[in-house]
């Protein structure tokens, strides 16, 4: 049997479990997660290699209708452009829920004319499966050529079936990456994302969306990895909240981030975090490009 390889976009509205699905497929954490929508801001490549195929998954930002700032428009563009360059699409939906944002994503999926697998996620949270089949039948009317697979990304239920279905759509071809490689992102990028994840999880609604992380130093001396992270926020009040009383909140963020970075790079890590105010960075296209949102 000929070897297969190709790109697979994971798309959906915010908070349906796209990043959790990618991490579950890979068996390790590549995309950061939190309960807050729009946690993912970049297209993240995850590489899954088997004896018969190499699948290159693109975890995309959640597509949303409200785009008040340049960063929101950037995230929508990142997700939309991914559809043009892939071989297969995984459209992730949340159980029995359907919203205007799901409808928007559906229209983009249909317009792409790419093979599509609908992953009906979070089925482990359903108290009964009685309504699942009628819901899938209704979805199949919206997407007549789609394949529908109920999954739980968190519990890793039915992911093998999902992979088998995706593989049927992939073209024949050689592997793009070494079989032990799981992403093309640098350790510097991954460290920045880990710090941002801890901010997303630690803080309330406002500050995480006004924060971004830039790694100013990532250096390994043979024993210790030194990481200097700069967190940018938009107002002095956000800086005060992020640092916390006597610096305790920032210290907690640093402790949690350091542990994850150590697990990722396999060395002892010395992490230092600074917070700086850069007014309006999230609505400034030039500032976004300088921060890697390109």
Q: What is the pLDDT of residues 237-281, one digit of tens each?
A: 999 999 999 999 999 999 999 999 999 999 999 999 999 999 999
Share of the chain above pLDDT 90, in %: 80
Q: What is the pLDDT of residue 290?
A: 87
Exposure of 289 in the CB half-sphere (CA atoms within 13 A): 2
> How does pLDDT run across 91-121, given as a tens digit for each residue?
999 999 999 999 999 999 999 999 999 999 9
Residue 67 has pLDDT above 80, yes or no: no
pLDDT band of 47, cuts 50, 70, 90: very high
Mean pLDDT over the full length of the chain: 94
pLDDT of 120 reads: 97
DSSP summary character for residue 89: E
Sign of CA dihedral 226, 231, 237, 241: negative
Map out the domains of the chain as residue ranges.
Answer: 4-169, 187-290
Q: 């999954």: which residue's tokens?
A: 151
Banded pLDDT at 291 (limits 50, 70, 90): confident
Cα distance between residue 188 and residue 218, in whole Å: 6
Read off the tokens for 87: 């071989």
8 Å CB contact between 150 and 193: no
Say what the pLDDT of residue 136 is: 94
In what side-by-side order are the strands of the sheet with 116-121? 44-49, 53-59, 4-11, 88-94, 116-121, 147-150
> Is residue 206 scored above 80 in pLDDT?
no
CA distance 47 to 27: 11
Kindly report the number of other CB atoms within 10 A of residue 252's CB atom.
13
Superfamily of domain 187-290: K homology (KH) domain (3.30.300.20)
Distance CA 261, CA 192 (A): 10
What pLDDT score does 208 carry? 83
Whether 207 and 239 have beta carbons less than 8 Å apart is answered as no
Give alpha helix (H) positions in the chain: 18-26, 70-84, 100-112, 132-142, 159-169, 187-202, 206-209, 236-243, 248-265, 285-290
Whole-angstrom CA distances from 79 to 13, 42, 47, 111 are 10, 8, 18, 14
Instruction: Please give the share of the chain, as a percent, with pLDDT higher than 70.
Output: 100
Pick the CATH number of 4-169 from 3.40.50.300, 3.30.1490.120, 3.40.50.720, 1.10.8.50: 3.40.50.300
pLDDT at 15: 92
Provide the pLDDT for residue 86. Answer: 96
The answer to whether the predicted template modeling score (pTM) of the entire model surpasses 0.95 is no
The separation between the first and the last C-alpha atoms of the chain, rounded to the nearest angstrom, is 39
Look at residue 233 and tell me whether its pLDDT is greater than 80.
yes
C-alpha 146/C-alpha 140 separation (Å) is 7
Which tokens in the block code for residue 83?
Answer: 């559809």
């Amino acid at each position: 049997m000929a070897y297969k390889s190709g790109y697979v976009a994971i798309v959906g509205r915010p908070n349906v479990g796209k990043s959790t699905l990618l991490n579950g497929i890979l068996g390790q954490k590549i995309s950061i997660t939190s309960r807050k929508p729009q946690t993912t801001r970049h297209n993240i490549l995850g590489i899954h290699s088997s004896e018969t195929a190499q699948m290159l998954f693109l975890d995309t930002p959640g597509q949303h209708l409200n785009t008040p700032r340049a960063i929101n428009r950037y995230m929508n563009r990142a997700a939309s452009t991914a559809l043009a360059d892939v071989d297969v699409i995984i459209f992730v939906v949340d159980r029995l829920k359907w919203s205007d944002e799901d409808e928007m994503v559906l229209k983009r999926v249909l317009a792409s004319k790419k093979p599509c697998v609908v992953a009906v996620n979070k089925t482990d949270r359903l108290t009964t499966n009685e309504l699942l089949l009628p819901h899938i039948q209704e979805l199949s009317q919206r997407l007549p050529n789609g394949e529908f697979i109920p999954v739980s990304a968190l519990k890793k239920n039915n992911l093998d079936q999902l992979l088998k279905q995706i593989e049927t759509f992939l073209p024949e071809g050689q592997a793009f990456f070494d079989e032990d490689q799981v992403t093309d992102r640098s350790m510097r990028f991954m460290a920045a994302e880990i710090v941002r994840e801890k901010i997303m999880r630690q803080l309330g609604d406002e500050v995480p969306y006004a924060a971004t992380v830039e790694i100013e130093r990532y250096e390994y001396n043979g024993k210790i990895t030194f990481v200097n992270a700069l967190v940018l926020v938009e107002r002095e009040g956000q800086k005060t909240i992020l640092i916390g009383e006597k610096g305790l909140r920032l210290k907690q963020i640093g402790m949690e981030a350091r542990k994850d970075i150590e697990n990722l790079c396999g060395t002892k890590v010395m992490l230092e975090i600074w917070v700086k105010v850069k007014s309006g960075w999230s609505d400034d296209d030039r500032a976004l490009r300088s921060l890697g949102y390109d």
